[in-house]
Amino acid sequence: MSRQALDELKQQIPLLDYLQAQDWQPARHLSRGRLMGLCPLHADHKPSFLVDPSKSLFYCYGCGRGGDVIRFVELYRQVKFPQALALLYQWRGLTPLLHEAAGFYRMQLHRHGEAVAYLHQRGVRLPELIEHMRIGYAPGGCLRGWLTQLGYPLPALRQAGLVTAVGYDAYMRRIVFPLEGNLYGRSLSAAAPPHRFLPGSKGGLYSWEQVRRYPEVILVEGLFDYAVLWQAGFHQVTCSLGNHLNARQLQQLCDGTRTVYLTFDVDANGSGQQASERLALRLRAQGVTARRIVLPEGHDPNSFLVQGGDARQFQSLLEAARP
H-only helix segments in the chain: 3-12, 15-21, 69-77, 81-92, 96-109, 113-121, 127-133, 143-149, 154-160, 208-211, 223-231, 247-253, 271-285, 301-306, 311-319
CA torsion through residues 228, 231, 237, 241, sign: positive
Q: Establish if 36 lies at the interface with Zn ion (CB under 5 A).
A: no
Asked if residue 10 lies in contact with residue 70, where contact means CB atoms within 8 angstroms, the answer is yes
Where does this chain touch Zn ion (CB under 5 A) — which range of 32-40, 78-86, 232-240, 258-266?
32-40
Shortest Å distance, C-beta 317 to Zn ion: 47
Asked whether position 62 contacts Zn ion by CB under 5 A, the answer is: yes
Q: Is 39 in the site for Zn ion (CB under 5 A)?
A: yes
Answer left, alpha or beta for residue 203, where phi above 0 means left and psi between -120 and 50 means alpha. left
Q: Are 139 and 145 in contact (CB under 8 A)?
A: no
Q: How far is the CB of 77 from Zn ion (least distance, A)?
A: 15
Residue 41 contacts Zn ion per CB under 5 A: yes
CB of 64 to Zn ion, least distance (A): 7
Q: How far apart are CA 45 and CA 22, in angstroms?
A: 18
* Total residues interacting with Zn ion, rule: CB under 5 A: 6
Could you give the string, one character per residue 63-82, with x where binding to Zn ion holds by CB under 5 A and - elsewhere? Answer: x-------------------
- With CB under 5 A as the contact rule, the residue among 60, 147, 162, 198 that binds Zn ion is 60
**Of 69 and 288, CB closest to Zn ion:** 69
Q: Which stretch binds Zn ion (CB under 5 A): 34-42, 101-109, 174-182, 244-252?
A: 34-42
Cα 1 from Cα 46, distance rounded (Å): 38
Binding site for Zn ion (CB under 5 A): 39, 41-42, 60, 62-63
